[in-house]
Structures are given as structure tokens and as C-alpha cells.
Amino acid sequence: MPRGFSPPEHPGFPPTVSVGIVDQSRRTLAGCVLLSGALGTVHAWSLFLEPLEAGLASSRGGVSAVYSVALVAITGSVLVGHRLFARLPGRAVALLSTGIASVGLVIASGASSLAVLFVGYGLMFGMGNGLGYAFALQRSAEARSSTSGQAMALVTASYALGAAIAGVVLADPVHDLGAGRGLRMLAIAVVLMGAVASALVDGGRSPRSRDRSVPSPAPAFTGLLRLWVGYGLAVLAGLTALGHAATLVDEAGGPGDVAVTLANFASAAGGLLMVATLDRTGHRRLVVGLPLATAVLLTVGAAFSRTNAISLIVPAVALAYGAIIAVYPAVVRDRYGSDGYPAAYGRVFTAWGAAGLIGPLGTGLLFDAFGDYRLPLLLAAVAAVASALVARSERF
């Protein structure tokens, strides 16, 4: 290198500015991962199923409905939350979402009836959860625009990882001290993680708020409908498996609390797998192949639902689910761009809420009616095949 020569600076930015942007981007992504992990504990719900059934003298279907309502509340927040991100600083959104969620958990911890449980866990925890999850997905995509697919997959993986860690930490307290103690412990964890995430994320508002002259794009209805149907049918199986992981394995004589942990770790692994492969594998192969693999697993699970084989089937289904929920946000962002993504994904994500209502609740009701899980597993397998057929007809 000639004496006196110095490399050119990054075009458009002084070196210190460029490094500062990269550092803040990493801090924001770290905050989004922590926030998502704290809220992903919603998928540890099956730990509380049997204790709440006994404590409230309720049926499996009645208690399962609380989880379904929480998933619907999450969906509603994801659908409209992006409008709030343009008006509030990012740190305020992180605190608001975890604040609402933790208050809901505290209310649920003292529930003496299903109605109170619906309000605390179903509505409040669900609403705060969806707000924070949508914020984490959108802000992670903004922070790492050059690798947004991987960043968003990492956020979805951390959502599942939070549930897995909760399964390890809460299993003994819930078993020994009851569901109320477990819910209070979860509330404390959500508050603390929310505070740390708030300190890490970029404090600014969503970029859209800086230019109000730019209208929000209106996604085409037909394309959104196909994505909606394909996504909803694909995730129904995973939500059913996660919502009933403990009781599915308990019915076969296995360790239900371990099943929750394994299923959520597997779901996180599915998301992390997409972090590594998303840009090297065609989206169409993934949105067709993953539901087909899920259908095969569910069919085998239905045939061996009363044997130890179900202990392997549940985490395998969760692995595919974790990959599916990591792929679809990237598909939507690629199709509609960074400007159109928030509104488009909010609409597509309502399919997740519909699946969350139908899958866990329907499974609980069918279990009450027939005394086992074979029929709901077979119906979920049919839904997964239908998802693959819809996705096969779509262009990605």
C-alpha cells in the first residue's frame, strides 16, 4: 500500500456515523430478540392446563379456550399495532406491551373463575403480547434491512425459545406450588425483560411517521387471501401441538412437562434453521414442503397417540411449525416491500389467530367428546395438506 494512502470512507457517511448505525442496529436486534423471548412464554400454556382444570373445576375445552382467546388477542394487536409504532417511541412501545402483558398475568394468577382468567390471560396478556411481538418483528426488519429475512427469523425463533426456557423454569413451581405462583413468576420475568429490551431498542418512531405524505400501500386482495389461507392451515397443526403438548404426552403415559420444553426448543430450532437457510432455499419449496412434512408427522401421531412415539412426534411437529412461522414474514416482506409489509403482514397474521382459535379450542372440545387426541390430529393433518396445495399454486 503506498505511503499516505488511506481507504475510502463509506459513501455518504463518515466512519464514526457508519459504525454508530451498525452498533445501534445490533442493539435494536438484541432488544427485539429479548422482547420476543419474554412474550413467547405464551406457548408454555399447556403447563397450566391441568392445574387450572383442577383449581377452577373446569373442563379441558373450557381452559383451552383461554389460550385460544389469548391467540386471538395477539392477532388483533398485530393487525393494528403498526399504526401505533408510527406515533410512539420504540422504547415506549416495548414498555407498554410488557406492562399490559404482566398486569394481565398478575390478574390471571389470582383468578377464581374462568371469566377472570379470560380477562387477565386471554385478553390482557394476549393484547400486550401481540403488540410487542409485532413491534419486534417490524423493528428487527428495519434495523437489519440488508439481512431482514434472517433478522425476522431470529425474532420468531426467540419467541419459541422463551417458551422453552419458561417450560424449564416453571415446571417445578407450577407442579409444587400451583398455577398462580407460576403466573406471578412469569409476570416478573416479562417486566424485567421488557425493561432491558426497552433500553436496547432504537428509541425513534417507525420510519413511516417521518413522511406522512407517503400513503400506505394497499396489498392486492387475491394474493393476500392465498397467503392467509396457506399460512393459517399450515400453523394450525403447530398451535394445536404446542397448546396441548403436555396433555398429549401425559395421555400416552409420558412426562408432559418435559414435552412442553422439548416442543418449544424444537420450535426455536426450526426458526434458527431458517436463519441459516432462508436465503439459500426457495420460499416455494419451504411453504409446500414444511406443511407436507407436518401432515406425515400428524398422521403417524394419530396412529400412535397412546404410545411413547407421541413424545417424539410433538417436538417434530413443533420444529416444522417454528420454521413455517419464520418463513411467512419473509415471504410477505419480499412480496410487498418494507413499506407495504406492516399492513400486509398484519392482515395475513389474522390467519394465525383464526388457527389459534380453531386448533387448541377445537382439540380440547374433541378430546372432551371422544376421550383421545386421534381425531384432532388427523384433522390437523388434512389442514396441513391443504396448506401445501394452496402454497403450490402461489408464486413466490
Helix-, strand-, coil-residue percentages of the chain, each rounded to 5 = 85, 0, 15
Q: Are 135 and 35 in contact (CB under 8 A)?
A: yes
Note the pLDDT tens digit of each residue in 169-187. 988 899 889 999 999 999 9
Query: Does the structure show a pLDDT above 80 at 112?
Result: yes
pLDDT at 212: 41
Of residues 20 and 285, the one with the higher pLDDT is 285
Q: Are 87 and 213 in contact (CB under 8 A)?
A: no
Q: What is the mean pLDDT of the chain?
A: 83
Q: Please state, in angstroms and as integers, the Cα–Cα distance from residue 267 to each residue in 74, 107, 156, 325, following that order.
A: 18, 28, 9, 9
Q: Are 242 and 266 in contact (CB under 8 A)?
A: no
Query: Does the structure show a pLDDT above 90 at 246?
Result: no
- Output the nine-digit C-alpha cell for 36: 420476543
Query: Does the structure show a pLDDT above 80 at 282?
Result: no
Of residues 167 and 324, the one with the higher pLDDT is 324
261/156 Cα distance (integer angstroms): 17
Sign, CA dihedral 329-37-245-322, equals positive
Note the pLDDT tens digit of each residue in 294-322. 999 999 988 887 888 888 888 999 999 99
User: Per-residue confidence at 26, pLDDT binned at 50, 70, 90?
Assistant: confident
Least confident of 174-178, 227-231, 382-386: 174-178
Note the pLDDT tens digit of each residue in 63-88. 888 988 898 899 899 888 888 888 88
Query: Does the structure show a pLDDT above 60 at 143?
Result: no
Q: Please state, in angstroms and as integers, the Cα–Cα distance from residue 379 to each residue in 62, 138, 271, 351, 359, following that order.
A: 20, 33, 25, 17, 10
The dihedral region occupied by 4, where left means phi > 0, alpha psi between -120 and 50, and beta the remainder, is left
pLDDT at 214: 40
Task: State if pTM tops 0.85.
Answer: no
Of residues 105 and 139, the one with the higher pLDDT is 105
User: Per-residue confidence at 119, pLDDT binned at 50, 70, 90?
Assistant: very high
The CB-based long-range contact list for 327-330 (8 Å cut-off, 24+ gap) reads 327/153, 327/274, 327/278, 327/283, 327/286, 327/287, 327/290, 328/227, 328/231, 328/234, 328/287, 329/137, 329/141, 329/152, 329/153, 329/156, 330/148, 330/149, 330/152, 330/153, 330/274, 330/278, 330/283
Question: Based on the number of CB atoms within 10 Å of its own CB, is 120 exposed (0-12), middle (13-18) or buried (19 or more)?
Answer: buried
Query: Does the structure show a pLDDT above 80 at 110?
Result: yes
